[in-house]
């Protein structure tokens, strides 16, 4: 299939296995992400940050439980309507455009990602998806 015809659904279909909600260095959250989660949960912003976020350099990560899962994982994402941009965009993220080999690394961990498409096609498709900011399927 020509790369111009590939869609997000051609490259990815989430199996809801939850593997990406565990480990992998954690989930970065922006201030907008944190504010949306606080509003969704009816929490005070600073309470939510101290309870559910951990600093990582200049940024924040969602806290993880002792078993390595994200604090918001409970057989499914409990904040799905407001999950952080990094979760919403996966696997159509900037680092794949920067180096398409990252798709291969990510696909080894995520069963929903196609592994039989050329990396040039993947990069073109991800670049197009990011330019339109289309939601994940």
Could you list the residues that contact ligand SF4 (CB under 6 A)? 14-21, 27, 62, 70, 72-73, 77, 79, 83-84, 87, 90, 110-112
Q: Is the Cβ of residue 2 or residue 55 nearer to ligand SF4 in the bound state?
A: 55
Q: Is the Cβ of residue 37 or residue 97 nearer to ligand SF4 in the bound state?
A: 37
Beta strand 53-56 with 28-29: parallel, antiparallel or unpaired?
Answer: unpaired
Q: Is the Cβ of residue 65 or residue 98 nearer to ligand SF4 in the bound state?
A: 65
DSSP bridge pairs for 61? 28, 54
Q: How far is the CB of 52 from ligand SF4 (least distance, A)?
A: 10
Q: Is the Cβ of residue 34 or residue 84 nearer to ligand SF4 in the bound state?
A: 84
Among the listed residues 66, 72, 86, 54, the one whose alpha carbon sits nearest the alpha carbon of residue 18:
72
Q: Taking the CA atoms of 52, 55, 61 and 66 in sequence, report the sign of the dihedral they define.
A: negative
Cα within 13 Å of Cα(39), Cβ side: 9
Spatial contact of 28 and 61, defined as CB atoms under 8 Å apart: yes
Q: How far is the CB of 2 from ligand SF4 (least distance, A)?
A: 26
Q: How far is the CB of 25 from ligand SF4 (least distance, A)?
A: 11
């Amino acid at each position: 299939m020509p790369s111009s015809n590939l869609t997000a659904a051609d490259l990815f279909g989430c199996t809801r296995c939850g593997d990406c909600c565990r480990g992998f260095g954690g989930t970065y959250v922006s201030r907008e992400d944190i504010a949306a989660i606080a509003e969704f949960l009816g929490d005070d912003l600073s309470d939510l940050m101290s309870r559910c976020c951990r600093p990582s350099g200049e940024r924040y990560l969602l806290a993880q439980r002792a078993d390595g899962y994200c604090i918001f994982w409970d057989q499914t994402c409990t904040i799905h309507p407001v999950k952080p941009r990094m979760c919403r965009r996966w696997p159509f993220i900037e680092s794949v455009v920067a180096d398409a080999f990252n798709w291969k690394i990510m696909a080894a961990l995520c069963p929903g990602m196609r592994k039989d498409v050329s990396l040039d096609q993947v990069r073109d498709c991800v670049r197009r998806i990011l330019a339109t900011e289309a939601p994940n399927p």
